[in-house]
Amino acid sequence: MIALLSVVAVTLLNLRDASRQPDAKERRATELIDARYVKVLSMWRHNEVRDDWSVHDFYYALARLGGHQNRKNDKAPGWLILWRGWMDLQHMVTGASIASKIRG
């Protein structure tokens, strides 16, 4: 179990580090994250699929899902907030996968 969860932890830490780079608003989120996760999270956030999300967009949407409110005086979200968001996103991606199999 630790080996499986450590892969997720490394992914989230890489995402956090990439979001702090100067090119975060230009770099596509799909370079770091599977496209299914980007599609599901953009659908949750905007009620439409957006394939063109940047690392910055994905990072802050995932943080919002994890409970970060992104107010003016809030600090940047950390990996714990990202972890909470990722767990919820994982459930949403699993549900979307099951729903597509039921329909098709």
Q: What is the pLDDT of residues 27-65, one digit of tens each?
A: 999 999 999 999 999 999 999 999 899 999 999 999 999
Domain assignments of the chain as residue spans, ordered by start: 21-103
3-state secondary structure the chain: CHHHHHHHHHHHHHHHHHHCCCCCCCCEHHHCCCHHHHHHHHHHHHCCCCCCCEHHHHHHHHHHHCCCCCCCCCCCCCHHHHHHHHHHHHHHHHHHHHHHHHHC
Q: Is the pLDDT of residue 104 over 70?
A: no
Give the global pTM: 0.90
Predicted pLDDT of residue 24: 96
Task: For the chain, give the number of residues.
Answer: 104
CATH topology classification for 21-103 = Transferase Inhibitor Protein From Tn5; Chain A, domain2 (1.10.740)
